[in-house]
Amino acid sequence: MKQEWKGSVRLGVVLFALYLAIHYWARLSGMALMALGAAFPLVLGAVIAYAVNILMSTYEGWFFPSSQNPTVARIRRPVCLILAFASLTALVVLLVRMILPELAECVLVLIQEAVPLLEELSLMVNQNVNWSQVLSSSGAALADGSVDWREVITKGVNWLISGLGGVMGSVMTLASATVSTAFTAIVSVIFSIYLLLGKEKLSRQCALVMKTYLKPGWYSRAIYFLETLNRCFHSFVVGQCTEAMILGLLCALGMAALQLPYATMIGALIGFTALIPVAGAYIGAGVGAFMIFTVSPIKALLFLVFIGVLQQLEGNLIYPKVVGSSIGLPGIWVLAAVTIGGGILGIGGMLLAVPLAAACYQMLRADLIQRNQAAPAALPEEDGAEPSR
């Protein structure tokens, strides 16, 4: 009787909470978005810490890992942390120095090609205008005094004031956005440094809180889920970066062999955009084809053919070996995860959806295998027993 009463109370609480969530959905969603916006620097810092931790852990494995010297043990974490941030900063600077000069050159080529075209269009338009008639009618209007100069000056002053106001508003908006972005970046980096320096202590504290407030069964499931999620994200990040480097290098070498322009810049761009699963390389290929088109349409067509062949090679040989096998997710589910994640959260959703789908796929697969293996030997009274982890 007591158990039935507790179950009824829990059901009533759940139904009441569901009613409140539906009835006040607009307010609750607004509050959630406000809280997420306020915590965005911390969330971004956690993401930065997770990415930097992969490189920092690698450096810690190289930096006298078996040394018993207390000084070495004390400085290992700060030194490896500095090396990790310095490596990522150097990589970003290298990419910018490789991409920006050739991108500026491409823009100059476009401007040089556009100026003669605009001049020809201007000549074509001017040939259809009788400027002598226009000037004579304007002179007649000025001569007979039919022009209201006060109205003309008033409109000119109003237009100038409104234009200056719009420019000042745009400048203030740009300055505010720049300061806000810089503040967010600084806070995120500082928070990521704190997380990385004390990650073992934070991990123990979180595990203690979960073990204290969760039942043993729920605690084991939560640890299993977090470990699987971490393994999938780690494998995805490492595999995706490795695959992007291979694809960018092959693209640059192939373009150099075919004597296509902007080989270094487009190779770096292809490698950078390849971090986005499935669709990233095609985005880089579209930008690269447009840039080559400003030099030679034939070479742009040749580049598209080359990228198509390289994409087939990458999709059938490189990606399954480097990324697919590491996360254990079939290609059809990768495509589904990228499509759904991109539709919900854009590029960020594409990056998050694949490892999340891989974690869910692995846990579901393991549970199905365990249940199917245990089903023939299970006794009737054990059907309701929960599987052990």
Q: What secondary structure does DSSP assign to 213-251, as a single string?
A: HS-HHHHHHHHHHHHHHHHHHHHHHHHHHHHHHHHHHHH
What is the structure's pLDDT at 190? 92
Task: Output 372 or 151, whichever has higher pLDDT.
Answer: 372
Where exactly are the structural domains of the chain? 39-111+159-213, 215-373
Report the C-alpha gap between 228 and 234 in whole angstroms: 10
DSSP H/E element including 72: helix 70-127
Does residue 218 carry a pLDDT above 80?
Answer: yes
pLDDT value at residue 242: 82
Amino acid letter for position 46: A
Which pLDDT score is estimated for 110? 67
> Is residue 70 very low, low, confident or very high in pLDDT (cuts 50, 70, 90)?
confident
Q: Is 308 helix (H, G, I), strand (E, B) or coil?
A: helix
CA 299 to chain centre: 31
> What would the mean pLDDT of 110-137 be, rounded to a whole number?
59
| Percent of the chain residues past pLDDT 90, beyond the cut | 2
Structure tokens at 150: 């006060």
The answer, yes or no, to whether residue 245 has pLDDT greater than 70, is yes
pLDDT-derived band at 309, boundaries 50, 70, 90: confident
Question: Is residue 386 over pLDDT 80?
Answer: no
Q: Please, what is the average pLDDT of the chain? A: 76
For the chain, percent of residues with pLDDT exceeding 70: 72
- Average confidence (pLDDT) over 258-262: 85
Residue type, 25: W
CB atoms within 10 A of CB 345: 13
pTM beyond cutoff 0.75: no
Residue-level pLDDT at 383: 43
pLDDT at 205 over 70: yes
- Mean pLDDT in residue range 98-123: 67
State which H helix or E strand residue 199 sits in: helix 199-213
Q: Residue 182 class from Cβ within 10 Å (0-12 exposed, 13-18 middle, 19+ buried)?
A: exposed
Task: For CA atoms 380, 381, 382, 385, give the dihedral sign.
Answer: positive
Give the torsion through C-alpha atoms of 176, 272, 41, 20, to 10 deg: 110
In eight-state DSSP terms, residue 382 is G
Exposure class string for 357-369: b at 16+ Cβ within 10 A, else e = bbbbbbbeeeeee
pLDDT for position 23:
77
Coil, strand, or helix at residue 345?
helix
Tens-place pLDDT, residues 318-359:
666 666 666 667 767 777 777 788 777 777 777 788 788 888
- Has residue 300 got a pLDDT over 50? yes
